[in-house]
Amino acid sequence: MPSERFVHNTDIGQNFLINRGIAERIVDAAQISPQDIVLEIGPGKGVLTRQILATPCKALVAVELDRRLEEFLSPIAQQDPRLSLIWGDALRLDLSRDIPFHPTKVVANLPYHITTPIVWKLLEELAPLGLVRMVLMVQREAAMRMLQGAKGKDRSPLGVTLEAMGWVSKAISVPPGAFRPIPKVNSSVIRIDIDKNRELPTDPRWRRMLKASFSQRRKNLLNNWQAAGIPREEGERRIEALGLMANARAEELTLDQWLTLARGYEW
Protein backbone atom coordinates (compact mmCIF):
# COMPACT_ATOMS: atom_id res chain seq x y z
CA MET A 1 0.00 0.00 0.00
CA PRO A 2 1.30 3.51 -0.82
CA SER A 3 2.46 5.54 2.15
CA GLU A 4 0.07 8.25 3.29
CA ARG A 5 2.93 10.36 4.67
CA PHE A 6 4.48 11.48 1.39
CA VAL A 7 6.52 14.67 1.82
CA HIS A 8 5.96 16.93 -1.19
CA ASN A 9 8.99 18.54 -2.80
CA THR A 10 7.67 21.95 -3.82
CA ASP A 11 11.12 22.86 -5.21
CA ILE A 12 10.26 20.67 -8.20
CA GLY A 13 6.65 21.82 -8.43
CA GLN A 14 4.95 19.04 -6.49
CA ASN A 15 1.48 20.49 -6.08
CA PHE A 16 -0.57 17.42 -6.88
CA LEU A 17 -4.06 17.62 -8.34
CA ILE A 18 -6.49 15.92 -5.93
CA ASN A 19 -9.83 17.02 -7.40
CA ARG A 20 -11.11 14.16 -9.55
CA GLY A 21 -13.83 16.34 -11.05
CA ILE A 22 -11.18 18.73 -12.39
CA ALA A 23 -9.16 15.77 -13.69
CA GLU A 24 -12.21 14.52 -15.55
CA ARG A 25 -12.77 17.93 -17.16
CA ILE A 26 -9.11 18.13 -18.22
CA VAL A 27 -9.31 14.75 -19.92
CA ASP A 28 -12.65 15.62 -21.52
CA ALA A 29 -11.00 18.68 -23.10
CA ALA A 30 -8.41 16.43 -24.76
CA GLN A 31 -11.10 14.41 -26.60
CA ILE A 32 -9.05 11.22 -26.51
CA SER A 33 -9.85 8.57 -29.12
CA PRO A 34 -8.83 4.89 -29.46
CA GLN A 35 -6.08 5.96 -31.89
CA ASP A 36 -4.46 8.43 -29.48
CA ILE A 37 -1.14 7.92 -27.75
CA VAL A 38 -1.02 10.27 -24.76
CA LEU A 39 1.99 11.75 -22.94
CA GLU A 40 1.64 12.88 -19.32
CA ILE A 41 4.45 14.87 -17.69
CA GLY A 42 4.56 14.87 -13.89
CA PRO A 43 1.84 12.31 -13.06
CA GLY A 44 2.42 12.66 -9.31
CA LYS A 45 0.21 10.22 -7.43
CA GLY A 46 -1.77 9.35 -10.53
CA VAL A 47 -5.10 11.17 -10.21
CA LEU A 48 -4.93 12.48 -13.78
CA THR A 49 -3.25 9.26 -14.94
CA ARG A 50 -6.21 7.15 -13.86
CA GLN A 51 -8.61 9.51 -15.58
CA ILE A 52 -6.66 9.29 -18.86
CA LEU A 53 -6.72 5.50 -18.63
CA ALA A 54 -10.51 5.66 -18.23
CA THR A 55 -10.60 6.76 -21.89
CA PRO A 56 -10.11 4.39 -24.85
CA CYS A 57 -6.56 5.72 -25.50
CA LYS A 58 -4.21 3.37 -27.32
CA ALA A 59 -1.33 4.02 -24.90
CA LEU A 60 -0.21 6.40 -22.16
CA VAL A 61 3.41 7.36 -21.44
CA ALA A 62 3.96 9.09 -18.09
CA VAL A 63 7.28 10.82 -17.37
CA GLU A 64 8.04 11.36 -13.67
CA LEU A 65 11.17 12.81 -12.05
CA ASP A 66 10.60 11.70 -8.44
CA ARG A 67 11.23 7.97 -8.01
CA ARG A 68 9.51 8.07 -4.60
CA LEU A 69 6.22 8.14 -6.50
CA GLU A 70 6.81 4.64 -7.84
CA GLU A 71 4.72 3.19 -5.01
CA PHE A 72 1.73 5.17 -6.29
CA LEU A 73 2.27 4.77 -10.04
CA SER A 74 3.56 1.22 -10.46
CA PRO A 75 0.30 -0.39 -9.24
CA ILE A 76 -1.57 1.58 -11.91
CA ALA A 77 0.81 0.28 -14.59
CA GLN A 78 0.39 -3.26 -13.28
CA GLN A 79 -3.39 -2.92 -13.58
CA ASP A 80 -3.34 -1.42 -17.08
CA PRO A 81 -0.66 -2.45 -19.60
CA ARG A 82 -1.37 0.63 -21.71
CA LEU A 83 0.63 2.70 -19.18
CA SER A 84 4.41 3.01 -19.64
CA LEU A 85 6.35 4.77 -16.87
CA ILE A 86 9.51 6.71 -17.74
CA TRP A 87 11.61 7.86 -14.78
CA GLY A 88 13.60 11.00 -15.51
CA ASP A 89 13.63 14.73 -16.13
CA ALA A 90 11.36 15.58 -19.05
CA LEU A 91 13.54 18.59 -19.85
CA ARG A 92 16.61 16.38 -20.27
CA LEU A 93 15.01 13.54 -22.19
CA ASP A 94 14.90 13.50 -25.97
CA LEU A 95 11.15 13.09 -26.29
CA SER A 96 11.47 12.07 -29.92
CA ARG A 97 13.65 9.06 -28.99
CA ASP A 98 13.54 8.30 -25.25
CA ILE A 99 9.85 7.41 -24.96
CA PRO A 100 8.38 4.27 -26.56
CA PHE A 101 5.76 5.99 -28.73
CA HIS A 102 5.23 9.24 -30.61
CA PRO A 103 2.33 10.86 -28.76
CA THR A 104 -0.55 12.50 -30.56
CA LYS A 105 -1.72 14.31 -27.41
CA VAL A 106 -0.21 15.66 -24.20
CA VAL A 107 -2.32 15.90 -21.05
CA ALA A 108 -0.47 17.21 -18.00
CA ASN A 109 -0.45 19.17 -14.78
CA LEU A 110 2.91 20.80 -15.50
CA PRO A 111 5.37 21.85 -12.80
CA TYR A 112 4.84 25.59 -13.05
CA HIS A 113 8.50 26.60 -12.86
CA ILE A 114 9.26 24.75 -16.12
CA THR A 115 6.12 25.66 -18.08
CA THR A 116 7.72 27.76 -20.81
CA PRO A 117 10.77 25.54 -21.50
CA ILE A 118 8.74 22.33 -21.46
CA VAL A 119 6.12 23.70 -23.88
CA TRP A 120 8.90 24.82 -26.24
CA LYS A 121 10.45 21.35 -25.94
CA LEU A 122 7.15 19.63 -26.73
CA LEU A 123 6.72 21.82 -29.81
CA GLU A 124 10.30 21.29 -30.98
CA GLU A 125 10.51 17.54 -30.50
CA LEU A 126 6.95 16.24 -30.88
CA ALA A 127 5.05 18.61 -33.19
CA PRO A 128 7.05 17.39 -36.24
CA LEU A 129 6.15 13.79 -35.29
CA GLY A 130 2.38 14.21 -35.23
CA LEU A 131 1.45 15.92 -31.96
CA VAL A 132 -1.96 17.52 -32.54
CA ARG A 133 -3.20 18.67 -29.12
CA MET A 134 -1.98 19.58 -25.65
CA VAL A 135 -4.21 20.12 -22.63
CA LEU A 136 -2.08 21.65 -19.89
CA MET A 137 -2.58 22.87 -16.35
CA VAL A 138 -0.43 25.97 -15.91
CA GLN A 139 -0.19 29.04 -13.71
CA ARG A 140 -2.80 31.61 -14.71
CA GLU A 141 -0.19 34.19 -15.76
CA ALA A 142 1.54 31.68 -18.03
CA ALA A 143 -1.83 30.85 -19.57
CA MET A 144 -2.40 34.52 -20.37
CA ARG A 145 0.93 34.73 -22.20
CA MET A 146 0.07 31.71 -24.33
CA LEU A 147 -3.52 32.78 -24.91
CA GLN A 148 -2.46 36.25 -26.10
CA GLY A 149 -2.81 35.59 -29.81
CA ALA A 150 -3.82 39.14 -30.66
CA LYS A 151 -1.82 42.28 -30.05
CA GLY A 152 -1.41 43.05 -26.35
CA LYS A 153 0.97 43.45 -23.42
CA ASP A 154 0.97 39.71 -22.63
CA ARG A 155 2.15 38.78 -26.13
CA SER A 156 5.25 36.58 -26.00
CA PRO A 157 7.51 34.58 -28.33
CA LEU A 158 5.75 31.39 -27.26
CA GLY A 159 2.31 32.92 -27.75
CA VAL A 160 3.20 34.13 -31.25
CA THR A 161 4.54 30.68 -32.14
CA LEU A 162 1.44 28.90 -30.84
CA GLU A 163 -0.79 31.25 -32.83
CA ALA A 164 1.24 30.48 -35.95
CA MET A 165 0.90 26.73 -35.39
CA GLY A 166 -2.79 26.55 -34.56
CA TRP A 167 -4.79 28.05 -31.73
CA VAL A 168 -4.96 28.20 -27.94
CA SER A 169 -8.14 28.27 -25.86
CA LYS A 170 -8.85 28.36 -22.15
CA ALA A 171 -10.66 25.26 -20.92
CA ILE A 172 -10.97 25.64 -17.14
CA SER A 173 -10.09 27.96 -14.26
CA VAL A 174 -8.80 25.93 -11.31
CA PRO A 175 -8.76 27.20 -7.69
CA PRO A 176 -5.78 26.58 -5.38
CA GLY A 177 -7.87 24.21 -3.26
CA ALA A 178 -7.82 21.61 -6.04
CA PHE A 179 -4.17 20.81 -5.15
CA ARG A 180 -2.12 19.48 -2.26
CA PRO A 181 -0.16 21.24 -0.99
CA ILE A 182 -2.26 24.30 -1.80
CA PRO A 183 -0.28 26.65 -4.10
CA LYS A 184 -0.13 30.40 -3.65
CA VAL A 185 -1.17 31.01 -7.27
CA ASN A 186 -4.26 30.48 -9.40
CA SER A 187 -4.24 27.98 -12.22
CA SER A 188 -5.78 27.58 -15.66
CA VAL A 189 -6.15 24.68 -18.03
CA ILE A 190 -5.44 25.57 -21.65
CA ARG A 191 -5.96 23.58 -24.81
CA ILE A 192 -3.41 23.96 -27.61
CA ASP A 193 -4.32 22.63 -31.05
CA ILE A 194 -1.57 22.21 -33.66
CA ASP A 195 -2.41 21.94 -37.35
CA LYS A 196 0.19 23.91 -39.34
CA ASN A 197 3.72 25.37 -39.43
CA ARG A 198 5.12 22.43 -37.47
CA GLU A 199 8.66 23.39 -38.44
CA LEU A 200 8.60 26.84 -36.80
CA PRO A 201 9.84 25.91 -33.29
CA THR A 202 13.02 24.39 -34.77
CA ASP A 203 13.55 27.12 -37.37
CA PRO A 204 16.64 29.07 -36.20
CA ARG A 205 15.60 32.17 -38.14
CA TRP A 206 12.17 32.24 -36.46
CA ARG A 207 13.67 31.83 -33.00
CA ARG A 208 16.38 34.46 -33.58
CA MET A 209 13.76 36.92 -34.86
CA LEU A 210 11.57 36.48 -31.77
CA LYS A 211 14.52 36.64 -29.39
CA ALA A 212 15.79 39.85 -30.95
CA SER A 213 12.35 41.46 -31.08
CA PHE A 214 11.23 40.65 -27.51
CA SER A 215 14.64 40.99 -25.84
CA GLN A 216 13.69 44.15 -23.91
CA ARG A 217 9.97 44.78 -23.69
CA ARG A 218 10.34 48.43 -22.72
CA LYS A 219 12.24 49.15 -25.93
CA ASN A 220 10.86 49.41 -29.44
CA LEU A 221 11.70 47.04 -32.26
CA LEU A 222 14.30 49.31 -33.82
CA ASN A 223 16.31 49.52 -30.60
CA ASN A 224 16.01 45.81 -29.90
CA TRP A 225 17.07 44.90 -33.42
CA GLN A 226 19.99 47.30 -33.29
CA ALA A 227 21.14 45.66 -30.03
CA ALA A 228 20.97 42.32 -31.86
CA GLY A 229 23.32 43.59 -34.57
CA ILE A 230 20.86 44.77 -37.24
CA PRO A 231 21.88 48.20 -38.60
CA ARG A 232 19.35 50.89 -37.79
CA GLU A 233 18.83 51.76 -41.46
CA GLU A 234 17.96 48.14 -42.22
CA GLY A 235 15.59 48.03 -39.26
CA GLU A 236 13.86 51.18 -40.47
CA ARG A 237 13.35 49.60 -43.91
CA ARG A 238 11.72 46.57 -42.32
CA ILE A 239 9.46 48.69 -40.14
CA GLU A 240 8.39 50.78 -43.13
CA ALA A 241 7.72 47.68 -45.26
CA LEU A 242 5.37 46.39 -42.55
CA GLY A 243 3.50 49.69 -42.42
CA LEU A 244 4.43 50.27 -38.77
CA MET A 245 5.29 53.42 -36.86
CA ALA A 246 8.98 53.94 -36.11
CA ASN A 247 8.39 53.36 -32.38
CA ALA A 248 6.48 50.08 -32.80
CA ARG A 249 7.00 47.42 -30.13
CA ALA A 250 6.97 43.65 -30.51
CA GLU A 251 3.60 43.19 -28.82
CA GLU A 252 1.93 45.34 -31.49
CA LEU A 253 2.65 43.09 -34.48
CA THR A 254 0.06 40.79 -36.03
CA LEU A 255 0.80 37.19 -36.92
CA ASP A 256 0.94 38.07 -40.63
CA GLN A 257 3.58 40.70 -39.89
CA TRP A 258 5.65 38.19 -37.91
CA LEU A 259 5.48 35.67 -40.73
CA THR A 260 6.49 38.35 -43.24
CA LEU A 261 9.49 39.31 -41.10
CA ALA A 262 10.58 35.71 -40.68
CA ARG A 263 10.30 34.77 -44.33
CA GLY A 264 11.48 37.97 -45.95
CA TYR A 265 14.62 38.86 -44.02
CA GLU A 266 17.77 37.38 -42.55
CA TRP A 267 18.10 37.16 -38.77
For helices 204-213 and 157-165, angle between their N-to-C axes, nearest 10 degrees: 140
The span from the CA of 78 to the CA of 55, in Å, is: 17
Binding-site residues sit at 15, 17, 42, 64, 89, 109
The span from the CA of 32 to the CA of 127, in Å, is: 17
Binding-site residues for S-adenosyl-L-methionine sit at 15, 17, 42, 64, 89, 109
Q: What is the DSSP string of the chain?
A: ---S-----GGGT--EE--HHHHHHHHHHH---TT-EEEEE--TTSHHHHHHHTS--SEEEEEES-GGGHHHHHHHHHH-TTEEEEES-TTTS-TTTSSSS--SEEEEE--GGGHHHHHHHHHHHHGGGT--EEEEEEEHHHHHHHH--SSSTT--HHHHHHHHHEEEEEEEEE-GGGEESPPSS-EEEEEEEE-S-TTGGG-HHHHHHHHHHSS-TTS-HHHHHHHTT--HHHHHHHHHHTT--TT--GGG--HHHHHHHHHHS--
The two beta strands, 179-180 and 16-17, are: antiparallel
β-strand partners of 139: 187
